[in-house]
Amino acid sequence: MTAPPWFYGPGLKERPAFFDLAPEESRHLAGSRRLRVGDDITVFDGVGTTAAGQVLEMDSRQLKVRVALAGYQSVDEDLPRIHLMSAVPKGDRQSTLLDMATQLGMSDYTPLLCERSTSVPGERAAARWQRIMIEACKQSRRPWIPRIHSATGLKTVTTGKRSVRQMMIVADLTGGRMSQLSALYLDEIVLLVGPEGGFSSAEIDQIHEAGTTLVALGSTVLRTETAAVTLVSATLNFLRGRS
C-alpha cells in the first residue's frame, strides 16, 4: 500500500494547478491519515478525473489543506452502467450495501419502495449515502462516484419507458443462471432487489409483465444487502467474461 491515498476534490474540470480541500477532507488528511506538507496524494472529482497532488500548506486548525495538482487523467465511465435499485435495509446494513456495491463498480443507485419495505429513506439519507460512496471510491480507487436517484416505487420502475439498450435483472430463487444472459450493446443494466420479506405476489406479477430477467443467486435466502452485493458482483463478472 505505497500508492498515495485518495481525497475527494469536486470541480477539477478546469484542471487547476492548486486546490483547497474541503474542511472534512482536510481534517481527514491531517488528522487520521497524519499527512504533512510535501506528502503525495491523489485527488479525484467523482466524475472520472484524477490528479497527482502534493500537500503545499495546511492551516493550524487543519481545516484547510492546499495541494498542488498535476498529471491529470480522465477516464470514461464503463458501459453498461450498473444501476442497483434495492429496498433499503435498516441502519448499518444499508451502509454495508452501498459501501460494497460501490467498491465493486455500481454506477447508479435508486432506493426502491416496495409493499414490504420496512425502511423509507429520510431527507438527509442521500447526503449520508454519498459520503459512504466517496469513502468506498477512495478505498477501491474508483474515480466515478455512483449517482443517487430519488426513491421510486417498483410500479413506476416496471411500467416506465425502457430503452432497448437497457436490461432489467431481478434476484429470484426461481431464476436462471447469469451465464445464460445475452447482454451485448447495453447502456444500462438495472438490478432489482426486494425487501427482507421478498416482493409481494402483485409485485412479482409486475416484474414478470415488465419483461425482466430472473437470475438465481443460489439456493439460500439472502438478506437484501447480501443479495444486492452478490448480484452486482455476479453481473460484473459476467460482463468481464464477455470482453
CB of 225 to a copy of itself, least distance (A): 8
What's the rounded Cα separation, in Å, for the pair 227 and 72? 37
- In order of 1, 38, 57, 166, the CA distances from 6 in angstroms are 12, 15, 17, 32
DSSP state letter for 47: B
73 binds a copy of itself (CB under 8 A): no
Of 62 and 140, nearer to a copy of itself (C-beta) is: 140
User: Between residues 35 and 65, which has the closer beta carbon with respect to a copy of itself?
Assistant: 35
DSSP states of 188-235: EEEEEE--TT---HHHHHHHHHTT-EEE---SS---HHHHHHHHHHHH
Q: Which of 79, 183, 196, 213 binds a copy of itself (CB under 8 A)?
A: 196
**Contact 208/174 with Cβ under 8 angstroms?**
no
> How many residues in total does the chain contain?
243
Using CB under 8 A as the criterion, what x/- string covers residues 104-143 for binding a copy of itself? Answer: xx---------------------------------xxxx-
CB of 22 to a copy of itself, least distance (A): 24
Sign of dihedral through CA atoms 193, 199, 203, 206?
positive
Nearer Cβ to a copy of itself (82/112): 82
With CB under 8 A as the contact rule, the residue among 29, 67, 98, 217 that binds a copy of itself is: 217
Phi then psi for residue 44, to 5 deg, are -125, 150
Site map 156..185 versus a copy of itself, x via CB under 8 A: ---------------------xxx------
Return the residue of 108, 128, 198, 206 that touches a copy of itself, per CB under 8 A.
198
Contact 49, 42 (CB under 8 A): no
Binding status of residue 229 toward a copy of itself by CB under 8 A: yes
Distances (CA, A) of 215 to 20, 169, 218, 237, 238: 46, 7, 9, 14, 12
Assess 40 for contact with a copy of itself (CB under 8 A).
Answer: no
Residues of this chain that bind a copy of itself (CB under 8 A): 1, 92, 96, 99-100, 103-105, 139-142, 177-179, 196-198, 217-223, 225-226, 229-230, 233-234, 236-237, 240-241
